[in-house]
Amino acid sequence: MVARLAIWSATLATLASGLTVNIHPSTRYQAFDGIGVAEAFQRSLVLHELNTPSQKLALDYLFSNKTGAGFTILRNGLGSSPTDPFDHMKSIAPTAPRSNNSELNYIPLPRNDEYQVWLSHQAISRGVTYIYADAWSADGYMKTTGTDTDGGYLCGVTNTSCATGDWRQSYADKIVRYIKDYQAQGITIDYVDFLNEPDLNTTYASMQSDGQQAADFLKILYPTLKQAGLTTEIACCDGSGWEQQRERLTGIQEAGEEDTLGLVTSHGYSSPLSTPFATDKKVWQTEWSTFDPINYDWYASGSQSEGLTWANHIQQAFAVSNVTGFDNQSLLFVNNTAEVSVTKRLWAHAHFGSRFIRRGATRIGATVTGDSTNALNVTAFANTDGTTAVQVINNGNDTETVTLEGLAVPRGGAGAVRTWLTNQLHNLTQGSVVDNNGCWVAEVPAKSLLSFVV
Ligand SMILES: *[C@@H]1O[C@H](CO)[C@@H](O)[C@H](O)[C@H]1NC(C)=O
Ligand SMILES: *[C@@H]1O[C@H](CO)[C@@H](O)[C@H](O)[C@H]1NC(C)=O
Ligand SMILES: *[C@@H]1O[C@H](CO)[C@@H](O)[C@H](O)[C@H]1NC(C)=O
Ligand SMILES: *[C@@H]1O[C@H](CO)[C@@H](O)[C@H](O)[C@H]1NC(C)=O
Ligand SMILES: *[C@@H]1O[C@H](CO)[C@@H](O)[C@H](O)[C@H]1NC(C)=O
Ligand SMILES: *[C@@H]1O[C@H](CO)[C@@H](O)[C@H](O)[C@H]1NC(C)=O
Ligand SMILES: *[C@@H]1O[C@H](CO)[C@@H](O)[C@H](O)[C@H]1NC(C)=O
Ligand SMILES: *[C@@H]1O[C@H](CO)[C@@H](O)[C@H](O)[C@H]1NC(C)=O
Ligand SMILES: *[C@@H]1O[C@H](CO)[C@@H](O)[C@H](O)[C@H]1NC(C)=O
Ligand SMILES: CC(=O)N[C@H]1CO[C@H](CO)[C@@H](O)[C@@H]1O
């Protein structure tokens, strides 16, 4: 008895010096749509070529809400290339029609799409809720340059003058056809973007556009989608960085076309995510990565490609930049038809995936008290089923004893509170909390991400 008391008071002494994470359920922020992954550029084919057990493993790593990251958004590529060598994405209208007034020369869904259709079904069967189709460019014959690669502009938008005329309606018709082709395969495309990194001119498929020029096409695309009876909403513009996207969104707003958008999309390469965009539209970060060699570390030197770095990027995207979705890093590597390995980044994403946070959840207030120089960063999301997921990142060098306060005691008491830990040694390892008079206490090791699920 005496011995037990001694242990108990020692525990309390440790607790008293710890930090408190305060959850404020009535402080409600943006809705949560999910986290996502892109398998454009024939990456779906790579997954398809895996042998059966490895394929199941890879798909489960990405999409399973029981054993994987629980991604619920899939970003597919909408092809613009005339042919499909290497990773090129072939168009459904690869050869030029007689003129901009003629119907396009449609072909059945090319190879890249066949595998994207397959992957979309695999993803949906594992709980994916959003399919996002993104075009890197219009077809070459619709552009000022005559090719889908190396930048150039869509004929018909501001500051273009093409001998072949205005191709905006043709491009809009092609997008409608593409959505209907997927529909015929049982796949609803929820969002479509007609641009990718329109601030860049690259050697692969690329099409440039500023906000005014995007607005010039939105004027045509929006009514064309409506007339076709499609519920697919328009996303724009997958700017290569947050500020490049902000500039394009501002241009669209100034041109009076913001209402045509269902979603604002940005990448994180050219400039990282920062203050929110001035919009009531939902915002997704749809591509951001490093091009470093494969890095399986969670934390070694704090480099850009480590898991902990990405855990912070994801958390800050939701907490600071007001996104409702966050897509893709180099998460999973396929070496040959049998070998699949995942990086720690996958487990960083998993803390924000559908195992813990479901579509329709709302981000709620979460603050840390106890020591103003603490190294914790926290976020919290309330699910519609009454559960709450709290993500605590300890960027510091010391283990922190963290008390969670502010949430109603769930049925089952502390036993209904679970923790999940990821760091250099752990990949989402399940644990439990100590009940301290209705407050729940857990240790968060240095350089770790711990989720509480209440
Ligand atoms: C988990 O995935 C299954 C499909 O495998 C889906 O039916 C279910 O709704 C998902 N659950 C959550 C909570 O997302
Ligand atoms: C895009 O870059 C290529 C290669 O540098 C260049 O030849 C071309 O003129 C550029 N296109 C535009 C529209 O700036
Ligand atoms: C069109 O060109 C004019 C003159 O070069 C330039 O001032 C304007 O910014 C351009 N507009 C767009 C939308 O590119
Ligand atoms: C074809 O281009 C011409 C010249 O720009 C334009 O007047 C016409 O409306 C375009 N056709 C279609 C179907 O958009
Ligand atoms: C955050 O985004 C939502 C839409 O998802 C919007 O209604 C809200 O005003 C935004 N908040 C801020 C601070 O920008
Ligand atoms: C994370 O913590 C750092 C240091 O306390 C702070 O500067 C930053 O704003 C925090 N980020 C979030 C998302 O809370
Ligand atoms: C990829 O597979 C080859 C042959 O099976 C092997 O030699 C190589 O080490 C593997 N590379 C990685 C990064 O796993
Ligand atoms: C955790 O995942 C990494 C790859 O990200 C793997 O190398 C390691 O063996 C896994 N550890 C455990 C304990 O499962
Ligand atoms: C952690 O340790 C490193 C190296 O000793 C130091 O540079 C860094 O400031 C420490 N971080 C914190 C949050 O104390
Ligand atoms: C741009 C990028 O990083 N894309 C990657 C997204 O994640 C999938 C799965 O790990 C990779 O195949 C893509 O290359």
Give the DSSP letter string of 325-370: EEE--S-EEE-SSS-EEE-HHHHHHHTTSTTT--TT-EEEEEEEES
Euclidean distance between CA atoms 12 and 435, whole angstroms:
11
Question: Checking DSSP bridges between strand 429-432 and strand 418-422, what pairing results, if any?
Answer: antiparallel
- For ligand 6, pick from 30, 377, 393 the residue to mutate: most ligand atoms within 8 Å of CB: 377
Residue spans per domain, the chain: 16-28+363-453, 33-356
Given the CA of residue 429, which atom of ligand 8 is nearest to it? 13
Contacts of 83 (CB under 8 A, 6+ apart): 90, 94
Give the model's pLDDT for residue 338.
85
Residue nearest to atom 4 of ligand 6 (CA): 375
Our separate counts of H helices and E strands in the chain read 9, 20
Euclidean distance between CA atoms 360 and 261, whole angstroms:
20
Cα separation of the two ends of the chain: 32
What CATH number does the domain located at 33-356 have?
Answer: 3.20.20.80
Q: pLDDT of the chain along its 454 residues, tens only?
A: 333 333 333 343 344 458 999 999 999 999 999 999 998 889 999 999 999 999 999 999 999 999 999 999 999 999 999 999 989 999 999 999 999 999 999 999 999 999 999 999 999 999 999 999 999 999 999 999 999 999 999 999 999 999 999 999 999 999 999 999 999 999 999 999 999 999 999 999 999 999 999 999 999 999 999 999 999 999 999 999 999 999 999 999 999 999 999 999 999 999 999 999 999 999 999 999 988 888 999 999 999 999 999 999 999 999 999 999 998 777 888 878 888 999 999 999 999 999 999 999 999 999 999 876 679 999 999 999 999 999 999 999 999 999 999 998 777 788 889 999 999 999 999 999 998 887 899 999 999 999 999 9
Residues 199 and 211 sit within 8 Å (Cβ to Cβ): no
Residue nearest to atom 5 of ligand 10 (CA): 330
Residues 300 and 307 sit within 8 Å (Cβ to Cβ): no
Give the model's pLDDT for residue 2.
30
pTM: 0.93
Beta bridge partners of 179: none
Give the model's pLDDT for residue 17.
56
Give the model's pLDDT for residue 117.
98
Among 187, 198, 208, residue whose Cα is nearest residue 116: 187
Give the model's pLDDT for residue 267.
97
Among 381, 318, 350, residue whose Cα is nearest residue 449: 350
- For ligand 9, pick from 397, 400, 444, 448 the residue to mutate: most ligand atoms within 8 Å of CB: 397
349, exposed or middle or buried, with CB in 10 Å at 0-12, 13-18, 19+?
Answer: buried
Q: Could you tell me if residue 309 is left (phi over 0), alpha (psi between -120 and 50 degrees) or otherwise beta?
A: alpha
Helices (H), 69-150: 111-125
Among 395, 417, 375, 436, residue whose Cα is nearest residue 13: 436
Peptide bond into 237 cis (omega under 30): yes
276 lines ligand 5 (CB under 6 A): yes
| Ligand 2 centroid from CA 130, angstroms | 35
Given the CA of residue 335, which atom of ligand 7 is nearest to it? 1
Q: Which ligand is nearest to the CA of 102?
A: 4
> How many CA atoms lie less than 13 Å away from 76 in the CB half-sphere?
30
Give the model's pLDDT for residue 12.
39
Q: What are phi and psi of 120, to 5 degrees?
A: -60, -45
Superfamily of domain 16-28+363-453: Golgi alpha-mannosidase II (2.60.40.1180)
Residues 12 and 436 sit within 8 Å (Cβ to Cβ): yes
Q: Which ligand is nearest to the CA of 284?
A: 5
Give the model's pLDDT for residue 9.
34
Q: Which ligand is nearest to the CA of 144?
A: 2
**Tokens of residue 382, six digits:** 């309330």
